[in-house]
Amino acid sequence: MPATPLFELVGVSLTIDDATILDDVTLSIPDTGITVLLGSSGAGKSMLLRLLNRLEVPTAGEVRFRGESVSAIDPLTLRRRVGMVFQRPAPFPGTVRDNLLVADPGAGDDHLAAALRDARLDARFLDRSADDLSGGEAQRMCLARTLVTGPEVLLMDEPTAALDPEARRGLERTARRLAEGGRPLVWVTHDLEQARRLADDVIVLVAGRVADDDERARFLADEWSDGATDPEDESDG
């Protein structure tokens, strides 16, 4: 019997202010490893990701999480089960401990330190001011803040876009370790090289639709011909 997908979208469309963002999308995301949503800017990747934990609600169709319609799950419960890390780190004022306690005010230091370790930060960071963190450290702290609630899956919305090449690779290694530990990830990027490094499965979006086989092949070929660069060759920002 086939395994239940992590997420399923069935006939999903999303319209905002009379603009069609997603158009009749049907797809399945496997309940293992790292699935990369790949496509050009404006293809609908981030909006699709936001549908998965009800930050957006589809205009038509249904989104399912492990076989259950997300519309039937309390939004706060869903967002604890389906954690999300955004493109730019968003530290709150105070220490790293203060930031992690925003996610779970009753958590003890041992639990917070475990979340930091999962995000590849030392427990000594608990007493650091969030304002003093580097870009990569701040993004790791935000990842740890999401991990504090024990999510079953992580949604990553271009989380390395604002990071320098070393920090990007570090976060990619962290993602791989989390996936190998049994926590699936859905990762949005427009970076083909990053997709090649990370992806166990790739879904290509084109103009709000899932690319067919020809469009997918053409998109990947065009990306190569445009001279896609390795992030280690790019400057920060």
Note whether 208 and 22 are within 8 A (CB).
Answer: yes
Residue-level pLDDT at 1: 57
Residue-level pLDDT at 3: 83
Residues 6+ apart with CB under 8 A from 96: 116, 121, 125, 126, 127, 128, 129, 130, 133, 141, 144
CATH code, domain with 147: 3.40.50.300
First-to-last C-alpha distance (Å) of the chain? 47
Identify the burial level of 201 via C-beta atoms within 10 angstroms of its C-beta, where 0-12 means exposed, 13-18 middle and 19 or more buried: middle
Residue-level pLDDT at 218: 85
Q: Is residue 1 part of a domain?
A: no
- How many domains are there within the chain? 1
Phi-psi region of 227 (alpha: psi -120 to 50; beta: other; left: phi over 0): left
Structure tokens at 232: 């280690």
Domain boundaries, position 152: 7-227
Q: Is residue 236 part of a domain?
A: no
Residue-level pLDDT at 222: 65
pLDDT, block means (10 residues), the chain with 237 residues: 88 95 97 95 94 96 97 95 93 96 96 95 96 94 96 96 90 95 95 92 94 87 50 33
Sheet holding 68-69, edge to edge: 19-29, 7-16, 60-65, 68-69
Strands (E), 108-163: 153-157
Residue-level pLDDT at 223: 57
Interior angle at CA 88, CA 152 and CA 147, nearest 5 = 25
Residue-level pLDDT at 234: 35
How many residues in the chain? 237
Q: Is residue 98 part of a domain?
A: yes
